[in-house]
Amino acid sequence: MSVVNSSDQPVDVSNVHTWPKSPDRDLTACGRDAYAEKSVQEALIGDPDKAIKLSELNDILATCEPFDFNGVTLYAKDPVLALIKALSEKNGYLLDDSYPPEQWQSGGVDKHSRIKDFIESPGMFIKGIEMIDMGQLYLGNCGFVSTIGAIASHPEGHNLLFSSIYPPVYNATGVYSVRIINQSKMGYLLIDDDLPRVSFSAMEDKNEFWYYLIEKAFAKLHGSYENLGGGNEIYFGIESTTNTSINQDNQDRIWDEKFIDIFKVKHHVTYQGTGSSTDLVSGHAYLILDAQQWNDIKLVRLHNPWNVVKYKGPYSPGSAEWKNIPEDVQNDIFQNSRYEGKSFWMPYDLYVKNLPKISDMYLSETVPDSLKSIANPSPIQE
C-alpha cells in the first residue's frame, strides 16, 4: 500500500504541545505556545452567553493587517488569539455578521446551530485527520470533499491541512481562523461555529468537527456552499498537474510512467471526476489512492467521497476475483483491511474505461518558507 500512514495523536486542549504546530503563526506570537496562557485556557472551556458580532471587534481586526482577497477579508496576522481574549472578557461568543446564514445558500439556510448545541462532546480532531473522517451527503460538492480527502492523505499536504485551523480544539468563544495560501502570500480567514444543519455533509465520528469548519471557511471564501468544488488544493499549498489522457494504445506506457511514479515512488494521492460511467457513479469525483501490480494483475484503489463503496465489479470487496491473489499478497501489497468498507480496488483496464485520465498533486514551489518545514510526513505534535 502506497498511502503514507500519518502519525497524528489525540489533541488535548490543555496540553498545547499536542496541538499541530503552526510555524507561520509562531512567527507572530500567536502559535500554540501562546494558547498555554491561563486566561486563554479558561476561555476555551468557558460557557459564554452573549453573542458579539464580528463587526463590533473592528478595533482588534484593524491591527491584524486586513486585506481583500476576491471580495473576502483575510488577515496577514491571525486575529483569533486576540479575539478569544476580547470575547472572554465580555463573556461572549462570536457571531460572524460578515457571513450570515442567509448568504450560505440560494434562499439562505434556516436550520443552523452552534457546535455545542448539536455535538455532545465536541473534539475538533479525534485521531488527527483522514480522508474517511467525513462524507458527502446532499450537497453537490463531491469535488470539494475529494480535494480535502486527497490533501489529508497526501504526504506533503497532510500537515498543511492539519495545522490550517486555529485553535485546533473546541473553542467555547466560537471563533476560528483557517489559513489560506495564495502562492507566496498567506492570510487567515475568520469564521464562527454556527454551522448548517441541513445534511450538507457528515462526520464519521459524531463528536468530530474539523471538516465542518473547512467547509464553512471555503463556502465563505467562494460566496456560498453551492460554490464548493474541486481545485481548492492550491489554497493549502498543493498544486495539480494537467491531466494525462489514457487510452488503449498508451495505457501500458502511462501505467509505467505515471501510475508507478505517482503512487509507488512518490506515495502521492490525487482525485479525478468521471464522465459517463458504467462501473462508477457518473459525473462524480473520486480519490485515487494507489496503484499496485502482482504478476499481470494491475489494480487501482479509489475512494468515493460518500464514504461508502458502491462499486460491484471485479476485485470489489469480497468478490471472487480476489481468489486469484494469495492472501499474504492481499495483506502485504494491497492491504485490503486498510480503509475497509471505505475504499475499493478495480482493474486498471476498467479504470481506463471509466476514468481515462490521471494527474498528480504536488507541493507548490511558492509555498511560504515558514510552512515548508512541515510539508512532509514528519509529526508536528509533541
Catalytic, 336? Answer no
What's the start-to-end Cα distance of the chain, in Å?
A: 27
- Radius of gyration for the alpha carbons in the chain, expressed in angstroms and rounded: 21
> Catalytic pick from 154, 268, 284, 303?
284
Selecting among 64, 142, 154, 159, the annotated active-site residue is 142
Q: Is 301 exposed, middle or buried (0-12, 13-18, 19+ CB in 10 A)?
A: buried
Respond yes or no: is residue 30 known to be catalytic. no
Q: Active-site residue 304, yes or no?
A: yes
How many other β-carbons are positioned within 10 Å of the β-carbon of residue 76? 14
Residues 303 and 245: their CA atoms lie apart, in Å, by 21
| Cβ 232 vs Cβ 250: under 8 Å | no
**Which one from 141, 159, 232, 304 is the annotated catalytic residue?**
304
Angstrom CA distances, 364 to 110, 146, 156, 374, stand at 39, 19, 10, 13
Mind telling me the catalytic residues?
A: 142, 284, 304
